[in-house]
Amino acid sequence: MYTNIPTNKLKNIIGSVLDHSHIDDTTKQEILKYCNIILDQNFFQYRDRQYKQSICLAVGAPTSSIFSEIYLQYMEHTTFVDILNQQIILGYFHYVDDILIVYDKTATDIENIIQILNSTRLTLTFSKEDDTGNFLIFLDVTLRIRENDILLSNSAENLQVLTASSLRPLVILQVKN
């Protein structure tokens, strides 16, 4: 994902986020100055050679994970939320570059949502992974989907049940139903 996040757009996003914060102007300017320095020093190493990633974030750079999270959260709250609110979405979760959207197959056209997300001017590409026999792997957890709940398990001994109503507090991006 890092190589799909444009640093010039990221600088604008950081500026926009700071403009909407309750931070004094001097501190905002200092944060922007340091972010620009970090983003302009965007190096990575491959096979004992140093390279400069000039357009997007570098894979392996210690700051890339932080900057990619800023980018993704900004996109979620400015672009994704509008798209998802027009659909029937039960839950939206993300961790780093993995996104899980919970939806009712009978009421939601997920292919249409993916097409709309991919038609935005983002440098990210969205795809879907179907469940197999009501099982889906998300991160290192097996999700077993039943009629009104989801079973989470990372081993046979560790099984937790999430009922449909318990999904609400876990939603990172609030979408309307």
Q: Say how far residue 173 (Cα) sits from the centre of its chain.
A: 10
Query: pLDDT, tens digit, for every residue of 153-169?
Result: 554 455 444 444 444 33
In sequence order, what are the residues at sequence separation of 6 or more whose Cβ sits closer than 8 angstroms to the Cβ of residue 15?
32
Residue 99 has what pLDDT?
A: 81
Residue 24 has what pLDDT?
A: 92
Query: pLDDT, tens digit, for every residue of 19-54?
Result: 998 889 999 999 999 999 988 887 777 889 888 877
Residue 78 burial (C-beta neighbours within 10 Å; 0-12, 13-18, 19+): exposed
Residue 150 has what pLDDT?
A: 55
**Two tokens, residue 29:** 């300017």
Residue 2 has what pLDDT?
A: 72
18 band by pLDDT with thresholds 50, 70 and 90:
very high
pTM listed for this prediction: 0.70
Domains in the chain: boundaries: 2-73, 90-170
Query: pLDDT, tens digit, for every residue of 111-169?
Result: 888 888 888 767 778 887 776 777 777 766 777 666 655 555 554 455 444 444 444 33
Residue 27 has what pLDDT?
A: 94
The one-letter amino acid code at 104 reads D
Residue 1 has what pLDDT?
A: 67
Alpha-carbon dihedral 26, 27, 32, 33, rounded to 10 degrees: 70
Query: pLDDT, tens digit, for every residue of 81-97?
Result: 888 888 888 778 877 77
